[in-house]
Amino acid sequence: MRSFIFVLCLFSVLLSTRNSFAVCETHGTIQEIRSLVSAGERAFEEMEQTELLVSRDKALGLLRCLQEEMRPKDVENLFWLMALAQFTTDREQTLTTLQAIWLLDSDREIGEAFAPSDQHPLAKLYQKAKFLPEGEYEPVYPPKGGWALVNGVRGADRPLATPAIVQVFSGEGQIVETRFFLPREAMPSWGPIPLDLSPVAMRNPKPWRIATGVSTLVAGGFYTAALMTKHRTLDLEDPLPVAEIPTWQNRTNAFAGIASGFGIIALGCGTTSIVFTLTTRGD
């Protein structure tokens, strides 16, 4: 029975692997995405929502198999298609996409074909998007020797407040992956993450708080173990053999010593986190 289950699982893995490779039997092109953007714009003008959403979905689907570098203008146009589609389904979601467009090209105008006046809802959303805070950014970690394009810009950090398109390249210049990320969507690491020991990073109180919490938990665990072994040594109802008492006393002392050590570490990390919290607020 176990052999049958193993073979069945192995077959499922092989089948899923085959299907994953079959996804990209043909490669997407920038020109195809441009054509879909144009088709989506026409659908928006003609108020054909279904065709607009289909164009958006097809364009995003092509990203997985794209084997060309996306320029900032290409990313901007794809975001524009997304914004038009979102405008017909979820106007609040449109804001972050319009903000991404404006950050790529602050001179871009909506156009009368899509917003006949400044009072049009799409025009109002675009104006509102211009004044949204940029928010935080996070670095992209490409494979060793490789690089990444974020919204068509090499070496840029990925914005968390807006959607983003990340293209990752190997050290040989081959595209490893092209991914679309929603705002604040978790992003994987494609390569090693360097240890940041810069003064700015070291003054960040968050890691010190985490270290304080972990050290406190470990200290508490060993302190509990020390109490348990001590109580066992002093248990008169079920006394230990005389020969084993020194062993249990040594365990108690060892656990207590380790607990004290981690307690000192927790105290130091906690004090450091408080100091850095106060100094960063002052800055």
Residue 245's nearest CA partner among 255, 254, 235, 260 is 235
Whole-number pLDDT of residue 229: 86
The three-state secondary structure class of 254 is: helix
Full DSSP string of 152-208: TEETPPEESSS-EEEEEE-TTS-EEEEEEE-TT-----SSPPPP---HHHHT-HHHH
Name 62's Cβ contacts closer than 8 Å, sequence gap at least 6: 28, 29, 32, 33, 36
Whole-number pLDDT of residue 181: 96
Beta bridge partners of 147: 169
Backbone angles phi and psi of 70, in degrees to 5: -95, 125
Q: Which residue has the tokens 């176990």?
A: 2
Q: pTM for the full model?
A: 0.63
Whole-number pLDDT of residue 81: 97
Whole-number pLDDT of residue 5: 37
Whole-number pLDDT of residue 196: 57
Whole-number pLDDT of residue 201: 59
- DSSP state letter for 66: B
Whole-number pLDDT of residue 25: 64
Q: Please list the rounded mean pLDDT of every run of 10 residues in the chain (283 residues).
A: 39 39 68 96 95 96 92 97 95 93 93 89 94 94 95 96 96 94 94 68 73 90 89 82 84 90 90 76 55
Query: Identity (one letter) of the amino acid at 36?
Result: L
